[in-house]
């Protein structure tokens, strides 16, 4: 049986967690899951995944984090940011696989399952998000997909709470202004 880490989920910080994962200690695999399971699951559900897909993706995320933990670079991002990026990637991967299967099963061209308006919305939002600075994009994703409040985001990104609140306020106003010019968002911004 694995020797349990000397810390509990409530006590462990991400530096210790990463060190334990890099050491290959299976007890830290459980700590990773215990510490982040509900946040990742919630993030995936709010990203549009079904409960079944979210559970599958979450397992893939934890597997990939354990396998690829040596690729994590703390100088580039906080561990939670890296973890959420893994979740976004695994969700996108599954969505593409499902879309491809559904489209081919129905004899339809790829991506034809979405309405034209829905595709236009997605494309506009994707383009809009890709043009944002990385820190702003991450704040939006953590807030709206990760369901985190400004205080949690500030801790993860190591910035001031007021900075996060200001960025969120500014980007909401800008997003409303920019999207109101597009007919496909009339029902979203009115």
Cα(174)–Cα(39) distance, rounded to whole angstroms? 28
CATH of 114-190, one of 3.40.630.30, 1.10.10.10, 1.10.8.50, 1.10.3720.10: 1.10.10.10
Domain 1-113 has CATH 1.10.1740.10: yes
Domains of the chain, residue spans: 1-113, 114-190
What's the pLDDT score for residue 110?
Answer: 47
Residue 146 near residue 164 (C-beta atoms within 8 A)? no
Q: Is the pLDDT of residue 104 over 70?
A: no
How do residues 57-79 score in pLDDT, each as one tens digit?
999 999 999 999 999 988 888 88
Residue 124 near residue 184 (C-beta atoms within 8 A)? yes
How do residues 127-136 score in pLDDT, each as one tens digit?
777 788 877 8
Residue 121, burial from CB neighbour count under 10 angstroms (0-12, 13-18, 19+): middle
Q: Sorting pLDDT into bands at 50, 70 and 90, what band is 18? A: very high
Cα(91)–Cα(60) distance, rounded to whole angstroms? 9
What's the pLDDT score for residue 184?
Answer: 54
Closest by CA to 72, choosing from 117, 109, 143, 18, is: 18
Mean pLDDT lowest among 11-15, 36-40, 62-66: 11-15
pTM exceeding 0.85: no
Q: Is the pLDDT of residue 113 over 50?
A: no
What's the pLDDT score for residue 2?
Answer: 52
């Amino acid at each position: 049986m694995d020797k349990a880490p000397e810390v509990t989920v409530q006590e462990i910080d991400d530096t210790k967690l990463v060190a334990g994962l890099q050491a290959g200690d299976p007890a830290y695999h459980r700590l990773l899951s215990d510490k982040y399971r509900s946040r990742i699951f919630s993030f995936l559900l709010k990203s549009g995944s079904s409960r079944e897909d979210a559970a599958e993706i979450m397992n893939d995320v934890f597997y990939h984090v354990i396998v690829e933990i040596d690729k994590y670079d703390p100088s580039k991002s906080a561990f939670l940011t890296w973890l959420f990026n893994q979740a976004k990637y695994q969700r996108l991967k599954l969505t593409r696989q499902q879309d491809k299967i559904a489209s081919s099963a129905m004899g339809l061209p790829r991506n034809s399952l979405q309405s034209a308006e829905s595709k236009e919305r997605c494309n506009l939002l994707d383009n809009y998000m890709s043009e944002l600075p990385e820190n702003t994009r991450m704040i939006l994703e953590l807030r709206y997909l990760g369901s985190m409040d400004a205080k949690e985001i500030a801790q993860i990104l190591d910035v001031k709470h007021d900075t996060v609140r200001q960025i969120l306020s500014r980007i909401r106003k800008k997003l409303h202004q920019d999207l109101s010019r597009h007919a496909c968002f009339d029902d979203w911004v009115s």
